[in-house]
Amino acid sequence: MKKNRSVVNVCRNVHELEEPLNEFNRIVSALDLEKLGSSQIPKLNEFRVLIDNVQISVSKVVAGHVISNQDTFIDLARVPRDLTCILIMPEGINLPLVHTFSNNSEFWAELNKACNVLSDMVEGVLVFASIYADSFLIESNESLVNKVDELVLQVAKNSRSTSELELINEAIKEANSTVNKSERSVHKAIEDIDHEVSSSKQSLSDFRISLESDMRGEAEQLKMDAKESIYRELANTKKQLEEVVELSEHYKEKFESLYDEMKTMYGIAGDGKLADYNNKQAEVERKAADELRTKGIYWLGLPILVTGLFIVHFMLSSSELTFEWILTRFLSISISASIAVYLLKESANHRSKENIYRQRGTQLATIGSYLKDFTDEKEKMRVKSELVSTFYSFHNGKADTSNVPDPNAQIKEVVALSKSLSKIVPTYRTTALQPDKESYYSSKRGSDSDYSGQHTSTNGNSTTGNTANSRTVHSHNNMKY
Span 76-90, pLDDT tens digits: 888 888 888 888 877
What residue type is assigned to position 332 of the chain?
S
The conformation of residue 431, written as its DSSP 8-state character, comes to: G
What residue type is assigned to position 51 of the chain?
I
Cα dihedral 137, 138, 141, 142 sign: negative
Tell me what the mean pLDDT of segment 58-67 comes to. 78
Is residue 320 over pLDDT 60? Answer: yes
Q: Answer yes or no: are the C-beta atoms of 303 and 410 closer than 8 Å.
A: no
Query: C-alpha distances in angstroms, 78 versus 66, 81, 130, 239?
Result: 17, 5, 15, 63
pLDDT band of 134, cuts 50, 70, 90? low
Is residue 95 over pLDDT 70? Answer: yes
Mean pLDDT of the chain: 71
Q: Could you give the CA distance from residue 256 to residue 114 in angstroms, rounded to a whole number?
A: 70
Q: Answer yes or no: are the C-beta atoms of 62 and 1 closer than 8 Å.
A: no
pLDDT band of 103, cuts 50, 70, 90? confident
Tell me what the mean pLDDT of segment 7-11 comes to. 49
Residue 479's nearest CA partner among 326, 310, 312 is: 326
Supply the DSSP string of 159-207, one letter for each residue: T--HHHHHHHHHHHHHHHHHHHHHHHHHHHHHHHHHHHHHHHHHHHHHH
Q: What confidence score (pLDDT) does residue 25 get?
A: 85
* 229 membership: H or E segment, kind and range: helix 162-316
Span 192-234, pLDDT tens digits: 777 777 777 787 778 778 877 878 888 888 888 888 888 888 8
Q: Answer yes or no: are the C-beta atoms of 343 and 295 closer than 8 Å.
A: yes
Residue 336's nearest CA partner among 405, 288, 416, 414 is: 405
Q: Best-predicted range by mean pLDDT among 39-48, 263-272, 349-358, 399-408?
A: 349-358
Cα dihedral 97, 100, 102, 104 sign: negative
Beta-carbon count within 10 A of 156 CB: 10
Rg (CA), the chain: 72
Tell me what the mean pLDDT of segment 301-316 comes to. 84
pTM value is 0.31
Residue 57's nearest CA partner among 100, 17, 2, 3 is: 17
Q: Answer yes or no: are the C-beta atoms of 330 and 414 closer than 8 Å.
A: yes
Which of 264 and 320 is assigned the larger pLDDT? 320
**At 398, is the secondary structure helix, strand, or coil?**
coil
In angstroms, how far is the first alpha carbon of the chain from the final one? 172
The conformation of residue 31, written as its DSSP 8-state character, comes to: B
Range from 67-71, 123-127, 322-326 carrying the lowest mean pLDDT: 67-71
Q: Answer yes or no: are the C-beta atoms of 293 and 343 closer than 8 Å.
A: yes
Range from 36-45, 192-201, 358-367 carrying the lowest mean pLDDT: 36-45
β-bridge mates for residue 97, sequence order: 31
Provide the residue count of the chain: 481
Beta-carbon count within 10 A of 147 CB: 14
Q: Could you give the CA distance from residue 418 to residue 373 in angstroms, rounded to a whole number?
A: 65
Q: What confidence score (pLDDT) does residue 57 get?
A: 84
Q: What confidence score (pLDDT) does residue 477 get?
A: 38
Tell me what the mean pLDDT of segment 250-261 comes to. 77
Q: What confidence score (pLDDT) does residue 265 get?
A: 53
Tell me what the mean pLDDT of segment 417-435 comes to. 50
The conformation of residue 397, written as its DSSP 8-state character, comes to: P
Which of 318 and 453 is assigned the larger pLDDT? 318
Residue 122's nearest CA partner among 203, 27, 197 is: 197
Q: Which residues contact 37 (CB under 8 A, 6 or more apart)?
A: 45, 48
**At 480, is the secondary structure helix, strand, or coil?**
coil
Q: Could you give the CA distance from residue 243 to residue 248 in angstroms, rounded to a whole number?
A: 8
Residue 281's nearest CA partner among 220, 346, 355, 196 is: 355
What is the crossing angle of helices 162-316 and 104-158, to 10°? 160
Q: Could you give the CA distance from residue 186 to residue 198 in angstroms, rounded to a whole number?
A: 18
Span 402-413, pLDDT tens digits: 555 555 565 666
Q: Which residues contact 172 (CB under 8 A, 6 or more apart)?
A: 144, 148
Which of 32 and 114 is assigned the larger pLDDT? 114
Q: Could you give the CA distance from residue 180 to residue 166 in angstroms, rounded to a whole number?
A: 20
Which of 294 and 471 is assigned the larger pLDDT? 294
Q: Answer yes or no: are the C-beta atoms of 179 and 137 closer than 8 Å.
A: yes
pLDDT band of 331, cuts 50, 70, 90? confident
